[in-house]
Structure 1
């Protein structure tokens, strides 16, 4: 096979190549000479003897995917009658055509057979068509094909298989892409075989096709993008607000500034708003048709699953209408029994004349769908795991501490290394923010040891939400929300559990932030009003942790930070590049779910603003905290060491020793991290046998440069970025990306409903400050502590909307693809060594599953199950279970951030 020699990999820089061969590109990029169709019909390579090659094409028709689009099917059949079918044309990987810019020689055009006669069931998954090619044996092996869709509608092309190529045998093309009618493109759609090439190893005959495809995906950088466009480009988060509605609906542009840096999102190109040219106009509230490249959109199955989320998010319209009825009791839970009715019997919607008027304004069926769409009675939810076995175990101190290690947000707790805790906030702006906790507050409850002894023996820990929240508290507390910045200190006991010692609640000084914090300290109590005060103090901690979790641990540190990698990968790494094939499964559905989040979740008045304490300041606060994001610290070992939860130790597995041996997130996470790292190392080492290949890979270098300078452009000058000059740099970077997109997201997402579906355990808002002695609120706390607790945390309407949201976020899709699985298996590559390495990866994940199961059954590990009797399975890979039907399973690591 002819290869490029004596040159390094070709650099793709986003500019048109051989400009004279290109047509006029629109938003889709530049057209190629091939688009003129002048040379297609009679290209036969010449000279050699011709052989017929049978092929099989698997695709999904539009009418199958849309279920009811019979018009598309009918028009496609009419097009077939007039000779406007679907054509394919093979491209030689061996011989170039000098008259066609040294692109591979083209075979004769062939058409899909029996389109008209093949009746496709509306419920069928895919259709299979034959195709017969006339192929000159002298042209060697086909390395690509051009496809033209002359039908009325698009289809989803899955695979093309050539049965017997002379001198080679079968050739596989894994496509998995939407193909729109040809007039939608200013270029030819080209698909490559499942052979993998570095840029400098690409056969000359395929090189131009490879380069041009990347240019097409980069687009022109201007114009509004349409559903058939395939353009990956960057934009700021400037589409969250609606300034045309008034100042209260405007939101800060995130990204592109020192004060509010942010990862980039995918560009849509919509017009700016009228009042603020820096802000992009929004789609109508209930529209879910936000542009993302068509291949990034949900599958039909996934979209059907997701519709429940969309319906429930109609609460932005419906819940205020319910609230306007003036039914005062509807917005409060009067007892914990009222809360339990959400799961055991359901809460009835208000009745009476006013509610009848509401049904006149909003379709009744739609109102019912707001809260249930699966046959349950209105306002009834599945029983959350945290209260399945015991309705009150969540209130224990042991469970309070355990969830910092094995709950939905186990990535914040750190080892206390100095006492009292100190703030890193600028004292010139915020005054003295250091902790007011003193030894005398806690040492009587430390099992006979001193603070100094506990720190020296690595037994003191802190959940610190002080510095992150204090700068925003004055603004947040000017609304109906009443919040504290919190610090919680805990002691590691001999049995491996954490014992809460003290909670510090802090507010800004009434005379200004620069006067420092005003803090109060609360210590554990079990009975009387002291026990009720302690329960409230833990609730305030849970509120701060819930908000930080949703905004930072979940949204920012997984969803938002991964999207720039997806965009850059598609712009700079060809589909036949080994690193594209490695990373692509971990990007499935992420751009789509992020786009939907911008539309109905994190936007002005969206679900997150309505249900989580920072309200309208939520996204702005996340931008300020993005300043602390460091790519290399997203590696689990580095994160554990930074938080003091592990100590480097070359004698131990994974090169470190856990300070808390019974730390389920870290124990399981390190096993998963190691399996991913080994898989990535084996895979990358196959293609990059030495460091020079990394440095000389033009696509790889362009990709990494753009990730830093564009995708995470506000962090481009940070010194911590890997240089991408060695295999070690490449392995480290790819391992981090895969870890964040798969295991980290699973750990902070799929436990939401099991733990936070019962809002008293993980409230998202506090509406009152801690009651003061001598007030009516304190008297209520003494007489009816449960009512006082419920009046302090998330209100009933917010609970209904919040629980609806996290129920959907916690569900695995019925078409989920888990770590160790591929939707293009087994033909994702023709290279045997990477396939064998992937099988070893699967085998390792299977062993991890067995270990997790065994540890969860071992009563020595108290933090793996806890008082609530919920086994820790969030990092159970589920690699071999293809029978999973989705739902609230509480286990399984999806390949990607798909919900």
Structure 2
């Protein structure tokens, strides 16, 4: 009588084990086994991290193994179980791996394919084609689309973290409780004693240092010491939290009437402003998207203000980017002066603070929330809806959507919802952030997610012209390494462009992103279909890079750059100045966040900058979704490339006062999970 050895590996995460009954059925090309209870007398099966083996006897050889069906039935109380994978040794001595990596909840069953990835057109056996269809139909019932707020990219249809499918929830919801984490951060930073004075102002800049005693690190301390200096102000547009807004100027816009006379003293090459522009030495940041956004008014006792400034920057003879002119509103006029480095020191400092505050709003709402969190979730939902687990692109992407839907759902539940944490300290709270995200999303395009394209579109692609743009330099390397890995995987499974065109599942995935996720806005220019391997490679590189490197670049430096509050005010309590000569220390202190909002701000940037426990970094794929040797070789090549990039970055950073490591692969998680 033929027999099969069935080995089942239970996950090692908390509560992965079960005491419920587990049954297995083997399905082959020739026959199907009887449903068999997997149980060892006097032995506790399926414990957390356990590897359990069982002998399944059959009346006849099953032929080529196609499917393994696992069933879980209640023993005493419902007991969730996480199965990593099933391995089956056939009578011929072959070992066949069936990846699972999912939870079995309640009286649930799961039907597994073997580990070889297959395109839909390559499945010829009807039972396998039906399995693909059943899996996707089941997924679409639980992965529905929802427009959480008007103008947002579509997200998963779930109001709370606990409503999500178990497979995409955090292992411990407590670990990502924003209220708990922020409160813990505030307590750990010793700023609790400021909360009772919530609406009172600080006394002077030295007062801010009192809450800085427990939170100093190499970069944040350097920021505290040098934040007033023009070189530090300019440097942050290259390598700070928001290195995506600076662009080279080819013409000074009419709405920003800077004259040569105004800035002549700041120009170092004996050229006019127009000549400096033509020479490629003039740059600009423009926060026009903030124009008209409603400032936070959730606290009637404290007015809060927003501005939409424009800042002109200049590359001096030392190759440093420094500000040379600032206008705090979009429409020129007598009540909207252009501030200059030659103005009174406090006038110039206050103007720079306003730019930094605008940059903070842009970073949090657009660069961080919209362009990494929400966009990654959109790709993730479409993936679950359109790609079965056997599809090679599903296997490629699943590590890069880990916990993304969960963290975003938790954020909608506690952080960015009405009366959420975001409202407590941010000038765009109280609805302004929703207005701003919706406005920015209307302007978001697919090409703007392609790293090399967006760098070039801003005229920032020349290393010779801007030699200290480490975000660009490191980003290029990580992009190319990622694209090379994706290309290795794609070319292995897709032997021709025609295979891409005939893959109905990948085409459905791309279409779902465009028509549902982006609501088919023409301006978004997301593709509706893919015609070639090159297009598929770029598309998947965008997804992986956005979820990993881009998110890391704009998230994990928040503590470094934003913990010194005058350098990144989350709100302003006085309106932007409409004339020069009025600024002094008191006006600046009274404009900056009060003690309570400063405390919430510190808790936020601390909590958001922390890595998850047991973080998985780029190139680390412990779950064995792929079994083909060429793909494993490609993974190893990818890891080697990433290690070389990390080593080069480490060498470059040695001895620097401001080391840049946010794009170092050893500090880039696989997915958006915090």
Task: State the Cα distance separating 1:559 from its structure 2 match.
Answer: 0.8
TM-score, scaled to structure 1: 0.69
Task: State the Cα distance separating 1:157 from its structure 2 match.
Answer: 2.6
Task: State the Cα distance separating 1:118 from its structure 2 match.
Answer: 2.1
Take 1:198 and 1:508, find their aligned partners in 2: how far apart are those partners?
55
Comparing 441-450 and 124-133, the one that deviates more: 124-133
Q: How does 1:602-617 map to 2 (within 5 A)?
A: 602-616=416-430, 617=432
Partner of 2:189: none
Partner of 1:559: 373
Structure 2: runs of 5 or more not aligned: 187-191
Q: How does 1:473-512 map to 2 (within 5 A)?
A: 480-506=303-329
Partner of 2:668: 893
User: Does the Cα contact within 8 Å between 2:337 and 2:580 map onto a contact in 1?
Assistant: no
Partner of 2:665: 877
Partner of 1:206: 128
Partner of 1:273: none
- Residue deviations 1:24-78 (CA, integer Å, cap 9, x gap): xxxxxxxxxxxxxxxxxxxxxxxxxx3222222122599x529xxxxx97xx4xx
Partner of 1:621: 436
User: Does the Cα contact within 8 Å between 1:487 and 1:503 map onto a contact in 2?
Assistant: yes
> Quick one: structure 1 residues 435 and 474, their matched pair in 2 at CA, closer, same or farther if it must change by over 3 Å?
farther
Comparing 621-630 and 787-796, the one that deviates more: 787-796
> Quick one: structure 1 residues 719 and 711, their matched pair in 2 at CA, closer, same or farther if it must change by over 3 Å?
closer
Kindly indicate whether residue 4 of structure 2 is the aligned counterpart of residue 57 of structure 1: no
Q: Secondary structure at the match of 2:250?
A: coil
Task: State the Cα distance separating 1:730 from its structure 2 match.
Answer: 0.6
Kindly indicate whether residue 612 of structure 2 is the aligned counterpart of residue 797 of structure 1: no
Q: 2:140 aligns with which of 218, 224, 232?
A: 218
> Quick one: structure 1 residues 115 and 620, their matched pair in 2 at CA, closer, same or farther if it must change by over 3 Å?
farther
Take 1:330 and 1:626, find their aligned partners in 2: how far apart are those partners?
34
> Quick one: structure 1 residues 158 and 290, their matched pair in 2 at CA, closer, same or farther if it must change by over 3 Å?
closer
The structure, 1 or 2, with the larger RCO (C-alpha pairs under 8 Å, 6+ apart) is 2
User: Does the Cα contact within 8 Å between 1:263 and 1:561 map onto a contact in 2?
Assistant: yes
Take 1:119 and 1:725, find their aligned partners in 2: how far apart are those partners?
49
- Residue deviations 1:873-895 (CA, integer Å, cap 9, x gap): 001111xxxxxxxxxxxxx1111
Partner of 1:443: 264
Take 2:447 and 2:222, find their aligned partners in 1: how far apart are those partners?
40
Take 1:845 and 1:715, find their aligned partners in 2: how far apart are those partners?
36
Over the residues paired in the alignment, what is the CA RMSD in angstroms?
Answer: 3.0
Paired residues in the alignment total 662
Which of the pair has more CA radius of gyration? Answer: 1
> Quick one: structure 1 residues 397 and 135, their matched pair in 2 at CA, closer, same or farther if it must change by over 3 Å?
farther
> Quick one: structure 1 residues 391 and 692, their matched pair in 2 at CA, closer, same or farther if it must change by over 3 Å?
closer
Partner of 1:306: 176
- Residue deviations 1:558-609 (CA, integer Å, cap 9, x gap): 1111212111111111101011111111100010110011111111121222
Partner of 1:36: none
> Quick one: structure 1 residues 805 and 210, their matched pair in 2 at CA, closer, same or farther if it must change by over 3 Å?
same
User: Does the Cα contact within 8 Å between 2:194 and 2:596 map onto a contact in 1?
Assistant: no
Kindly indicate whether residue 382 of structure 2 is the aligned counterpart of residue 568 of structure 1: yes
Structure 1: runs of 5 or more not aligned: 1-49, 67-71, 80-84, 96-104, 220-230, 238-252, 255-260, 271-287, 317-321, 345-380, 423-433, 510-515, 648-656, 860-864, 879-891
> Quick one: structure 1 residues 722 and 61, their matched pair in 2 at CA, closer, same or farther if it must change by over 3 Å?
closer
Task: State the Cα distance separating 1:720 from its structure 2 match.
Answer: 5.0
Q: Secondary structure at the match of 1:337?
A: helix
> Quick one: structure 1 residues 386 and 718, their matched pair in 2 at CA, closer, same or farther if it must change by over 3 Å?
closer
Q: Secondary structure at the match of 2:83?
A: strand
Q: Secondary structure at the match of 1:471?
A: coil
- Residue deviations 1:463-520 (CA, integer Å, cap 9, x gap): 111x2122226898997113322111111123321121111112779xxxxxx89521
> Quick one: structure 1 residues 695 and 213, their matched pair in 2 at CA, closer, same or farther if it must change by over 3 Å?
same
Comparing 699-708 and 721-730, the one that deviates more: 721-730
Task: State the Cα distance separating 1:329 from its structure 2 match.
Answer: 8.0
User: Does the Cα contact within 8 Å between 1:481 and 1:766 map onto a contact in 2?
Assistant: yes
Q: Secondary structure at the match of 1:799?
A: helix
Task: State the Cα distance separating 1:718 from its structure 2 match.
Answer: 5.0
Task: State the Cα distance separating 1:308 from its structure 2 match.
Answer: 6.4
Q: 2:118 aligns with which of 190, 197, 206?
A: 197
User: Does the Cα contact within 8 Å between 1:313 and 1:607 map onto a contact in 2?
Assistant: no
Take 1:804 and 1:854, find their aligned partners in 2: how far apart are those partners?
32
Take 1:329 and 1:207, find their aligned partners in 2: how far apart are those partners?
62
- Residue deviations 1:654-705 (CA, integer Å, cap 9, x gap): xxx6641220100000000000111111110011110111111111111111
User: Does the Cα contact within 8 Å between 1:386 and 1:394 map onto a contact in 2?
Assistant: no
Kindly indicate whether residue 187 of structure 2 is the aligned counterpart of residue 262 of structure 1: no
TM-score, scaled to structure 2: 0.91
User: Does the Cα contact within 8 Å between 2:313 and 2:323 map onto a contact in 1?
Assistant: yes
